[in-house]
Amino acid sequence: MQKLPLEVIELIKLALREDQAFNDPTTSALIDPSLEVSGQLIAKQEGIISGIEVFIATFAYIDSDIVFDRTLHDGDQVINGQSIIDFHGSASSILRGERTALNFIQRMSGIASETNKYVKLVEDLKATIVDTRKTAPGHRYLDKYSVMMGGGSNHRFNLSDGILIKDNHLVVLKKIGLDNRDAVIQAVNRSSHTINVEIEVESIEEVETALSAGAQIIMLDNMDVNTMSEAVSLIDGKAVVEASGGINLNTVRSVAETGVDLISVGSLTHSVQGLDLSLDIQN
């Protein structure tokens, strides 16, 4: 993430305004603007780092003269006590940006670290761990980037990236007399040839319907592993198979062993626990 997209730059600015980084009476009252300090960003637990460029960009928006020396890069493993970034510059600027910069990198590293746990559990199987759109509003680019830093892959980035027929779509269509088969056929006929059509199914009967209607991706929603195995055998490579719904670290291995292609895990981004990092100014 060398060049940050405009949406991320705007998010950084919004976060700094939210924290009133340029209106900090504590720093103004106590710290001489000419005072310079050195310090480090230190890991307080083991994990995967993500968000170094965002961390640096947050400070750069306050003070472009702060100097940073990266000792690690996004996607790197970190252990407790390890230095991630060394820095030197205005104490006033560093104190104003500290909390916002940490909020970004801790959240991003938490996502990367959690993703990596899932990835390691299935690394010898064909299943790919993917995220969902259950991201913090405004943070989608950062959340999904962090999933990739943890070794996972991205599902749809937004609604325009593909057709995914979910349960509520089907409920609405039933009101006008259309069933699952009709939904897939209509989606295939009305979409560009560059867009895949995926449908969420909950039973073997719905798998059969989706397959016969021409769905390119079939999402097995909240199925037990025995039913998933049956579905994978039935689909037999005629469509990409995604498992979804309540999958966690205790169950992901057994889900992957059914032979599914993708395993989507919403908790990677909707239930984030930030990685414990500390910005330490040297005495």
- Tell me the β-bridge partners of 111: none
CA 266-129-53 angle, to 5 degrees, is: 80
Give the catalytic positions in this structure.
99, 134, 166, 200, 221
Single-letter amino acid code for the residue at 174: K
Helix or strand (DSSP H, E) at 2: none
CA atoms within 13 A on the CB side of 150: 33
Cα separation of 184 and 182, whole Å? 6
Report in angstroms the alpha-carbon separations of 1 from 55, 83, 86, 148, 200: 11, 20, 19, 11, 33
